[in-house]
Amino acid sequence: MIEEGSKRGKAMVEKRQLFMEMRAQNFDVIRLSTYRTACKLRFVQKRCNLHLVDVWNMIEAFRDSGLNTLDHNAEINVSRLETILSSIYYQLNKRLPTTHQINVEQSIGLLLNFMVATYDSEGHGKLTVFSMKSMLATMCGGKIVDKLRYIFSQISDSNGVMAFAKFDQFLREVLKLPTAVFEGPSFGYTEHSVRTCFPQQKKILLNTFLDILMADPPPQCLVWLPLMHRLANVENVFHPVECSYCRSESMMGFRYRCQQCHGYQLCQSCFWRGHANGPHSNQHQMKEHSSWKSPAKKLSHAISKSLGCVPIGEPPHPMFPEQSEKPQDTMAHTVQPKPVANNMNNTMLMSSGAPTPTKSVLESPSRLDEEHRLIARYAARLAAEAGNSTQCPPTDLSFNFDANKQQRQLIAELENKNREILQEIQRLRLEHEQASQPTPEKAQQNPTLLAELRLLRHRKDELERRMSALQESRRELMVQLEGLMRLLKDEEQKQATQTGGSPHSSPSHGAGCSMPMPIRSTSAGSTPTHTPQDCLAGVGGDVLEAFAHGVPRNLRNDLLVAADSITNTMSSLVKELHSG
């Protein structure tokens, strides 16, 4: 007796816990009953972790628990309900990553007590099968179109036509949810609820059912249902706009723009609480925005719309075949439909194919053979990739590629600079030959030659300054070249070490695993063996020979030779000019 009393007391504490936490959120300050109801039910959904259970997983749980074989009016006791909820949450934890596991026992306790308080207010200890299905299918996660399709499969007959009596029963059960969160006066069940949804008594098929319940606006008694889904979609939406009342520089969630006051926008907190300032009034019409578009994107969308590139009237859901559908929780296999984009804002994605393939189709020999072939092909592909990875050591390929790319760019820059130097050498050589042609005797006899000689002496000063600049360029070139040689040597040593060879092995040994270098080079520590006297045979001799072919024979030594040739030639030129 003491144990039963403690369990009863614990159940009462857990029963009150969820409602106490909900009251602490202060949802009652929201002035509009639709938003207030949707926020409260969204809080219950998240607090019980039902938003993590997709509607298709919920249908699977109904079938695994044997609810598909029971009549809608059959009753189940609280202990069996607890078993079903335990199965749902333990299966959920198996699908979630280890870093996002939920507290299963706490979730079971909160949801169980909420369902008992909602559907067993008289304390009989039993719930009907249809009550449980209606509540869980409405409060779980997933798309609203999938939920409504499942509900329609439960309230339609064998011909795929909705039974008004069953829809009335569904409204009785689902409208107990707003009543449970103290919003019964606004959205409680009445005898006229069915008429507000379907004013004309006619044959209601699936597409008509979806058209009415997903219309804008939906039926008044269920207006909170699509809003609850929109709340879930905009919880992390960011709007880089300042609120005109609280002056917050950004908004999260919904954004509301006044249709009368130019540039007047409110965040969802201010709009829900009825805040207004300046010329704006709460009686003004406000437009709800669930996303942010930049002015440029708005302009492009308007142009596309005016040109007919964007369809103006888009259906809120895809059109489904009108044949009758079996109740979706009675099939041996439930396959989630493939999404098809039907809305530019991606607010509603759904399948265009049949939602309930039969067991014979799924288990046909051709389908199984095709799956086996795909699996075998994928396994062979993985094996080939694994073989390639064993042949080539696991090096940082991206790093090697970036390093080689930078080295190639540096080499290209050095080659361009060296080409410019060679062109300057050739130009100076021609000028030197022209300047050395007139003799002093001819200059003394001809005044014109004397004037040209003065110009040549002036040009000599310019050449001396140019020589100094060339020597400075040579020095910078040598510094860059030495750094490049060190990089190339380090790269060769790394490749030799990775391939198991010695640091002095040929770079071509690692060609199977790394990018080949664009040039060949000697050791970075070598020094030029050419003396200045070796290069006096004529400017351009060794230089032209070094760069006559498509690939340099030895870039470093040839550049050193070219640089020495520049220095010696300029010295000889200065001496000749001085002597002249």
CA 122 to each of CA 10, 109, 117, 126: distance values in angstroms, whole numbers, following the listed order: 19, 19, 9, 10
Task: Return the pLDDT at 475.
Answer: 79
Count the residues in the chain.
580
- pLDDT at residue number 73: 93
Predicted confidence (pLDDT) at residue 74 exceeds the cutoff of 90: yes
Pick the range with the lowest mean pLDDT from 106-115, 449-458, 497-506: 497-506
**Position 306 pLDDT exceeds 70:** no
**The pLDDT of residue 305:** 59
Question: Is 80 exceeded by the pLDDT of residue 294?
Answer: no
What is the residue type of 293? Answer: K
How confident is residue 496, by pLDDT bands cut at 50, 70 and 90? confident
Choose between 570 and 224: higher pLDDT: 224
What's the pLDDT score for residue 326? 52
Average pLDDT of the residues in 346-362: 37
Angstrom distance (rounded) from CA 367 to CA 482: 65
Mean per-residue pLDDT, 52-64: 94
Instruction: Examine the pLDDT at 328 and tell me if it is beyond 70.
Output: no
pLDDT tens sequence across 173-225 = 999 999 999 999 999 888 888 888 887 778 899 999 999 999 988 999 999 99
* pLDDT of 344 over the 60 cut: no
Q: How confident is the model at residue 577 (pLDDT cuts 50, 70, 90)?
A: low
Sign of the dihedral defined by the CA atoms of residues 212, 213, 216, 219, in that order: positive
- Measuring CA to CA, how many Å separate 455 from each of 438, 452, 464? 13, 5, 14
pLDDT for 401 equals 55
Out of 205-209, 497-501, 532-536, pick the least confident: 532-536
> Largest Cα–Cα distance in the chain?
140
Q: What are phi and psi of 471, to 5 degrees?
A: -65, -35
pLDDT of residue 440: 53
Long-range contacts from 347-355, C-beta under 8 angstroms, 24+ separation: 347/233, 347/290, 348/143, 348/144, 348/145, 348/214, 348/316, 348/317, 349/143, 350/143, 350/145, 350/146, 350/317, 350/318, 351/318, 352/318, 354/321, 355/149, 355/320, 355/325, 355/328
pLDDT at 371 > cutoff 70? no
82-96, 326-340, 403-417, 418-432 — most confident range: 82-96
CB 317 within 8 A of CB 346: no
Enumerate residues 6+ apart whose C-beta is below 8 A from 360.
Answer: none
Strands 286-289 and 265-267: unpaired
pLDDT value at residue 223 = 94
Q: What is the pLDDT of residue 418?
A: 80
Q: Which of 40-44, 66-70, 86-90, 221-225 has the lowest mean pLDDT?
A: 66-70
Mean pLDDT of 417-423: 82
Predicted local distance difference test score (pLDDT) of residue 339: 42
pLDDT, tens only, 140-183:
999 999 999 999 999 999 899 999 999 999 999 999 999 999 99
Q: Would residue 465 be called left, alpha or beta, if left means φ above 0 and alpha means ψ between -120 and 50 degrees?
A: alpha
For residue 579, the number of C-alpha atoms closer than 13 Å in the C-beta half-sphere is 8
Give the pLDDT score at 47.
Answer: 95
Stretch 324-349: mean pLDDT:
43
pLDDT in tens, 518-528: 333 333 343 34
Least confident of 59-73, 270-284, 370-384, 545-559: 545-559
Residues 197/212, Cβ–Cβ less than 8 Å = yes
Q: What is the pLDDT of residues 79-129, one digit of tens each?
A: 999 999 999 999 999 999 999 999 999 999 999 999 999 998 888 899 999
Provide the pLDDT confidence category of residue 529 given band limits of 50, 70 and 90. very low
Question: For residue 375, what pLDDT is reported?
Answer: 65
Query: What's residue 556's pLDDT?
Result: 60
The reported pLDDT for the residue numbered 99 is 92
